[in-house]
Amino acid sequence: MSAGVSASTGRVAARRDAAAGTARRFHRSRVARRGYGWLLIAILTTIVLLFPLYWMAVTSVTPITDLLTLHPPIVPALSHLELSNYSATFRTYPVLSWLANSALITVGTVALSLVVSVPAGYALSRMGAGGATSAGLLMLVTRVIPGTLLLIPFFVMFSTLHLLNTLQGLVLADTTIIVPFAAWLLKGFFDSVPRELEQAALVDGCSQWTAFVRVVVPLASPGIGATAIYAVILGWSDYLFSKTLLIDPTHWTITVGAASLISDLTVNWSGLMAMGVISVVPMIIAFVVLEPFLVSGMAAGSVVG
């Protein structure tokens, strides 16, 4: 290297290399230490954040007399636990029908929501600025209407359509709530799929629909996955519309059934928590399975990049 500029550059470069090397070595050993530091923090945070779920589970297997005390058993002795609340719950209430109803409604809601919002998101994405504005507006407008004001109009509309007390009526109700947000979310994903790809497909002789379905949709599948999870959660947890539109106890979803345990005469906390656990476990399982797609989907779509 020549003197002067190169020398100074060299020196700077050397210094930077040294610094980087130090940083790397530093970084590496720090990573080893820091990694476990963060792990510890994560463990503590998770304990605090998930304590309510833990407590729900503990309450469900502890006899009620042990709970109505000034010293609740935070970490109960295993010998004192009993599963009688679960067997009693399954025996007394049609829990399995409720779970089945919830499952059917959720599957139907996810399917219908995707069928409606995937094409809608794509259209909004390809329609340029006008589409962007409408997507945003649509999504927000539906968020400004209080849910309780929809109860009577929905009841009247569904009554007219003979969809009262039917599971498919509820699928329709849940879908209408999900679609605006889902369409907007999917629009973001489709935005990240370059138009050239479907143009190329069109050049190759595909119809617009085929180009959409065969080329674009697969590339947005993380986004579709994220939307599906969102629809699953909303469909399963719906309470307000389920309790308004479903009349017969046999048609109840698990959320309505769980709430019915708070009868007007008594609250058995252990039994109630057992029902709570039963309503939450399927959701937790679904979530554990699908969650990786959710985060990667959100990141991949650079929804908010």
Partner 1 sequence: MHYAKVRLLACAGALALAITACGSSGGGTSASGSVTLDFPSWQENEPGYAQFYQSMISEFEKNHKNVKIHFYEVTYDNYVQTITTRMAAGNPPDILVLPLTSYAQFAAQGELAPLDSYLNKTDILSSWSPLQKSLEVNGHYYNVLMQGAGFALYVNKQILAAHHLSIPTTVPRLLSECKQLTGSGNYGIAMPTAQDPSAFNDASLFISGEGQSVLSGTSYDLTSPGVESAISQYRQLASCAAPGLVSDQMRQVYFSGKAAMMLDGTFGLPNIETEGTASVKKNTVMVSFPVPHQVSYVSSTLSIPASIPDSDKQLAWDFIEQCTTPASQALFVKDIKSPAPRVSVDSSADIPFGSVQTAAVNGANMIPDNPKFVQNYTEIDTDFGAALSKLVASKAAVGPVMSQLQQQLPPVG
Partner 2 sequence: MVTRPPAGRSVQGRRRRSRNGSADGSRFFYPALLAPAVVLGLFVIGYPLYLIIDASIRDVGLPNMAALNSAPVTGANFTALGSDPLFRQALWVSLLYTLGGTLPAFLLGLGTALLLNRRFPLRRIFRTLTLLPWAVPSVVCSFLFLWIVNASYGVLNYLLLRAHLITQYVPWLASLRWSIVGVIIPTVWKSYPFFTLLILAALQVIPVELYEAAKVDGARAWATFRRITWPGIQNAAYLALVLQLLWTFREFEIIYPITAGGPANTTQTLAIYLYNEVFQFFHMGYASALGVVTVVICVAIVVAMFPLLRRTLWRS
The footprint of partner 1 on residues 105-144 (CB under 8 A) is 105, 107-108, 111-112, 114-115, 118
- Interface residue with partner 2, options 2, 65, 69, 266 (CB under 8 A): 69
Calculate the dihedral angle through the C-alpha atoms of 22, 23, 27, 28, rounding to the nearest 10 degrees: -40
* 8 A C-beta contact, residue 218 and residue 197: no
Which one of partner 1, partner 2, none interacts with residue 231, CB within 5 to 8 A by kind? none
- Interface residue with partner 1, options 259, 283, 286, 290 (CB under 8 A): 259
CB neighbours of 215 closer than 8 A, spacing ≥ 6?
197, 198, 200, 201, 206
Residue 240 in the binding site for partner 2 (CB under 8 A):
yes
Which residues in 268-287 contact partner 1 (CB under 8 A)? 268-269
Nearest alpha carbon to residue 114 among 182, 48, 17: 182
The DSSP annotation for 118-172 comes to HHHHHHHHHTHHHHHHHHHHHHHHHHSS-HHHHHHHHHHHHHHTT-TT-HHHHHH
Which residues in 164-223 contact partner 2 (CB under 8 A)? 175-177, 179-180, 183, 188, 191, 195-196, 199-200, 202-203, 207-209, 212
Q: Residue 7 or 267: which CB sits closer to partner 2?
A: 267
CB of 229 to partner 1, least distance (A): 14
Residue 183's identity, in one-letter code, is A
**Residues in contact with partner 1, shown as a per-residue x/- string from 188 to 227 under the rule CB under 8 A:** ----------------------x--xx--xx--x------
Q: 84-92 vs 269-300: helix axis angle to the nearest 10?
A: 90
Which one of partner 1, partner 2, none interacts with residue 161, CB within 5 to 8 A by kind? none
Nearest alpha carbon to residue 98 among 262, 251, 283: 251
Which residues in 142-161 contact partner 2 (CB under 8 A)? 142-150, 152-154, 156-157
